[in-house]
Amino acid sequence: MTQELTKANINLYAVLRNLEDLCELDKDMKTLIKDISMRIKFVVKNGPKGYLSFEDGTCTFSKILDKCNIILYFKSPHHFNQMIDGKANPIPLKGLTKISFLKNEFITLTDKLSYYLKPTPSLLENETYLKNNTILTAYTAFFALAQVGNTDPIGKLSAKRIPDGIINVSITESNTGIHLIAKNGHLKAKKGLSSNNRASMTFSDIITTNKILTGQIDTYSCIATQKLQMKGYIPMLDNMNKLLGLVSSYLQ
């Protein structure tokens, strides 16, 4: 149950959340939603809740529930995970007249997200694809890291060892920034960098970031060549890296 809950939290708060970044990075997806005004609420019994809002050519994700056009209900975290894997359908509680959006534009968006999050060696040879894949992978990994630290049994042990404070994570070459807030063993990930951080992890470029996040090179060799810089209160970074090592098992 706990692993299903962790996976459901990751699928909503780390994977589907990425649609807002996809619509910024990919011109075709930005064009696809430019005239769409739609809000989809996801409600998972005993699991995560949140909504995606498409408005004025942008997509935003929020945990704060508000008025919506469509409500998709799931009987359990397992049911939601099955839907993400394409093995189950949601239960629509509202918005039956908007089903065409779910079957057309929304499917196109999620298919394009999968395209970027499931790379092949030939796709990664394309510079634009590599950049988009790396940025979306980084967002997925660090937002998922917070969910692993909050609900996975082993992850909670590492999260409790992270001293209170904020860790900034950034990719210099792409202006991508995320900050992880640790407080009393609970973790929260947010986009952007904080000016009040206690520690930081800075990737120098896209290629280095991609290779570290996909396990092709180790962090220590990158630190030696200064392609990865870690500064500040090191115990925060040590325990965050242990959590990062658990994330891949949920994203396979």
**6-30 residue pLDDT tens:** 999 999 999 999 999 999 999 999 9
pLDDT of residue 1: 53
To 5 degrees, how large is the angle CA 145–CA 148–CA 150?
Answer: 110
Concatenated DSSP letters of 163-175: PSEEEEEEEGGGT
Residues 102-157 pLDDT 10s: 999 999 999 999 999 999 999 999 999 999 999 999 999 999 999 999 999 999 99
CB-based burial, 109-130: b 16+ in 10 Å, e otherwise: bbebbeebbebeeeeeeeeebb
- Pairwise CA distance, residues 68 & 205, whole Å: 39
pLDDT of residue 120: 93
Residues 41-87 pLDDT 10s: 999 999 999 999 999 999 999 988 678 999 999 999 999 999 999 89
Query: Could you give the percent of the chain with pLDDT greater than 70?
Result: 98
Give the residue from 84, 118, 75, 76 showing the smallest Cα distance to 13: 84
Q: pTM score, two decimals? A: 0.93
DSSP 26: -
pLDDT of residue 90: 92
- Pairwise CA distance, residues 72 & 232, whole Å: 43
31 falls in which pLDDT band (50, 70, 90)? very high
